[in-house]
Amino acid sequence: MPKAQLYKKFELKQAQRDAFDADVARMEIVNFIAPQSLPGIAEGTEVKAVFVVDVELKRHDYDTKNIILIAKVIPHRIIFALRHEDKVQLAVYHTKLFTGPWQSLQASNLTLSGLNLDAVWQNIVAFVGELEVADGNSLTEQIRVDEERARLVRQIESLERLMRSTSQPRRQRELYSEIKKLKSML
């Protein structure tokens, strides 16, 4: 996919083009997952195909906004294989960007499981995002639950720091009871 064509088609601003060009050397669609390419997997109700895009990065510490930009402007489900030198990082966008750990090219793999593309996509997002989807939750609900849990953990840590720095016993008790209440919500 030529970058100039991407800029032109999606009418990116000059600042977006510069930031994108600073991170991405080239992009190429290397594969796609669809009933035509894998006859054992049926088309899903929401997901008709999943594309695999190889993104060659110019630097290891890329700006994730550029990957989010690609995911938002291209209306398909995409697995990004972000490459820098001899390392690769898988990334997917489903309500937010999920990235896996950096791995060597030889060690990197992705197992497909599911009877239709909806299930395959959910399993890919769960694998890359290291999510454990609880029984009864959809993938989107589980992402929301995980984000809420992370927010509570950050709030508890902040209150614990504040409690340690406070010298007033009454204020410490108030903070402790608030921390206890938040921990019960986890």
User: Could you read off the pLDDT of 56-109 as tens digits, one per residue?
Assistant: 999 999 999 989 988 888 888 999 999 999 999 999 999 889 999 999 988 888
- Determine if the pTM surpasses 0.95: no
DSSP symbols for 31-97: EEESTTT-TTSBPPSS-S-EEEEEEEES-SS--HHHHHHHHHHS-SEEEEEEEETTEEEEEEESSSE
Domain ranges of the chain: 3-131, 141-185
